[in-house]
Chains A and B, each alone.
Chain A
Amino acid sequence: MSDSTFPEAPTASACPACDAAPMTRRLAASGAREAAAPCALMLSLPGVHCALCITTVEKALAAQPGVRSARVNLTLRRATVEADPGVRAATLVAAVNAVGYEAHEMDASALSTTATDRQGRELLMRLAVAGFAAMNVMLLSVAVWSGAADATRDLFHWISGAIAIPAVAFAGQPFYRSAWSALRHGRLNMDVPITLAILLALGTSLYETAHSGEHAYFDAAISLTFFLLAGRYLDHRTRAIARSAAEELAALEVARAERIGESGDETVDVAKLRPGDIIRVRPGGRMPVDGVIREGTSELDRSLLTGETLPVFAEAGRVVSAGEVNLTGPLVVEVTAAGRDSSLHRMADLVAMAESTRNRYTSLADRAAGLYAPGVHLLSLVAGVGWYLATGDARLAVNIAAAVLIITCPCALGLAVPAVTTAASGRLFKRGMLIKSGTALERLAEIDMVIFDKTGTLTLGTPELDAPDSHARADLALAAGLAAASSHPLSRALAEAAERAGIAPEAVTEIAEVPGYGTEGQWNGRRVRLGRAAWVGAEPGDRTAAWLGVEGRLPVCFTFADRLRPGAEEAVRGLRAIGLEVALISGDAAPAVGAFAARLGIEDVTAEALPEEKARRVADLAAAGRRVLMVGDGLNDTAALAAAHASLSPASALDAARVASDIVLLGEDIAPVASAVTTARSAVHRIRENFTIATVYNLVAVPIAIAGFATPLAAALAMSASSITVSLNSLRLK
């Protein structure tokens, strides 16, 4: 549970568009709420797992000055700390680290669980009321079915009605609301026949009871509500879990910047930065805004934006964009565009355009409802009118029409999809995959081609020394000696390669890191340098490379390749094995991409692709009838992710990319991608099977209802049996 991306820590929700709106509102609000008295801080604790952990962490937090209360939530692996305004999250994190637990600050404003919480709680209450009422009404109904007659039957019917009518009125509200909004827009959805069936059943039952009739459908109306609410609740929970996990991923990226003010440095929210502000970006930090470098030299890793692995040199006057990572030296940057004006957010336009295609996707349930709703209404109308014409008895005709509506109840249909998606999402979540969108599983099951991004998706975005054996041991030892002093990714890779080869680093003295260029030092009385080609005195090539220069000798070149993400080979092999075409499309330079694709055996390769080209490629394939799964992590993939039939991004991806994709991969290993497709396919297969089961039940029951033989007992049996069969069938999902 303690890998670099915590499985329970992840950010995103059911649809990116729904996400964008509250996000902007949140941003706007964060500027306005400055006078929140006792501030609540939130920490993510991926390592807590037992009773002792809870008390240890809570005590450590409570012992900090200014902390009023601290509470660990083990289910969410979070700690909520109420503290005086002056308390900094960093000190709390240090306190938790000191007692031996990993802790990360979370941006509490990015967590909006309260709204979904309230909704879930409301559904649960309605479910409880419906369940309670259904049990009592069923007990009374059993007495009626087993032969209660005359006054006893009437009394039981009256009591049933007294329980069922208020219960249905309260519990069924979600259906009435949804049905009303559909009707208002001139559409039919599954909730329209549900509402009609419930109301008609209650109405005729009440009339029958008042006239001492034999059949009352109070039990059917309330159990219908109960079963359907159970389906709704399952559906809601699956989404709520995915949403909160996704939000947590976003909340872990606390957007802070160090602003250089007249009175010294201060740490501020990125949302508060304005053009013209001067900020400091430390090595290893990500650019929070677009800007121009004022002071300092360094190297920038732009792979999240462009897919290029080659770090670029940065000096005063260079324009930087949000999302770039500063590698070596501290930089002072003047802000030119922040927040919604930054290049990160401008990409949103491209995404919004691409998204409209996906929003047009109709889910299996909607398609089923499209056939079902008008069919059921027609059937019940025809039955009612037919009986009226044949017998002239209006009471009997209405009774028959109500019986048809109840018997054809969409209980099984309403449960068929949520039960399967809950089972499938739970299974995928265990394997580290987070399903954000309701229709993602269905879309994932339909794909016939997979397009991968390279940098950060199939690779980890960290370099690895090429062919360490081809270098002279002495050179590697000297390079490792110089590299040991630096935290530059290339230096770290060199030191690691030397260690693995069992080479002890040479002792180099007077080592100094020259930000943006490399490291230099003294060795055996000669000046040695490790760094950029031009600085060492060599011709720069097109590969990621570091050069070792010893005074008076020709420079030696160390080239690097991007480290393969664990499971990348299995993922490609697995996807091929289930008959999918695999392609690679990257913004990186052609030689690097070619070499990499050859390693994985991918033939369809596009290099140096711009973000628009990626999106266009996906759109062209879609126009040609292909259904593409896009797997990517960077800003340059965002539009393609949104345009694809289904999309997946690793947890290490940029926030924008995660929001645009349907599925987030929480672990580092990418191998589960292939099994996700298999699971999605079997889930859709199960859904179809469930629809078939429900249809078969209806085919048997409807003629009985139309013929006028339907009794409340038959309705109750058909409804429960089909709902239970469908639920059990969903659990068989592999």
Chain B
Amino acid sequence: MDALVYLIPISLFLGGIGLVAFFWTVRSNQYDDPEGDRHRILSSEYDDHPKE
């Protein structure tokens, strides 16, 4: 049972990283153009002006 003392904080921390990463993707408008991003990745040209 002692392992819980480490394991619970670790699992919460890892989950928290995922949550923060999700926040970041939402805040940086990464869901604005899913259709376009899907196609842009196939373009051979380097995207000089990625959307900020």
Contacts and interface: CB of A to CB of B under 8 A. Distances in A.
A578 interface: no
Contacts, number: 51
Nearest to A73: B33
A75 interface: yes
Interface stretch (A49-57, A420-428, A663-671): A49-57
Contact of B1 (A74, A128, A152): A152
Interface string B21-52: 01100110000111110011011010001010
A124 B45 contact: no
Q: Is the interface of A mostly helix, strand, loop or mixed?
A: helix
Contacts of A155: 4
Interface string B7-26: 01001100110110011001
Most central of A74, A128, A129 by chain B CB within 10 Å: A74
A392 B45 CA distance: 77
Interface residues on B, range: 20 to 34
Given A51-B39, A74-B33, A75-B32, A132 B15 contact: yes
Contacts of A73: 32-33, 36
A54 B12 contact: no
A74 B19 contact: no
A493 interface: no
Given A51-B42, A124-B26, A128-B23, A74 B36 contact: yes
Nearest to A62: B49
Contact of B26 (A52, A121, A136): A121
Contacts of A54: 36, 39-40, 43
Contacts of B12: 136, 163
A50 B33 contact: no
Given A136-B15, A152-B1, A75 B36 contact: yes
Interface in A49-82: 50-52, 54-55, 69, 71-76
Interface residues on A, range: 20 to 34
Contacts of A76: 33
Contact of A72 (B16, B26, B36, B42): B36
A135 interface: yes
A152 B1 CA distance: 9
Nearest to A151: B1
A125 interface: yes
A159 B42 CA distance: 46
Contacts of A129: 19
Given A51-B43, A128-B19, A152-B1, A75 B35 contact: yes
Contacts of A121: 26-27
Contacts of B35: 74-75
Contact of A55 (B1, B11, B45): B45
Contacts of B16: 132
Nearest to B42: A51
A75 B43 contact: no
Given A136-B15, A163-B12, 4 more contacts: A71-B49, A74-B33, A132-B16, A132-B19
Interface of A: 50-52, 54-55, 69, 71-76, 121, 124-125, 128-129, 132, 135-136, 152, 155, 159, 163
Interface of B: 1, 4, 8, 11-12, 15-16, 18-19, 22-23, 26-27, 32-36, 39-40, 42-43, 45, 49, 51
16 contacts: A50-B39, A51-B43, A54-B40, A55-B45, A71-B49, A71-B51, A73-B36, A74-B36, A75-B34, A76-B33, A121-B27, A124-B26, A125-B23, A132-B16, A152-B1, A163-B12
- 4 tightest Cβ-Cβ pairs between the two chains A and B: A74-B36, A51-B39, A75-B35, A74-B35
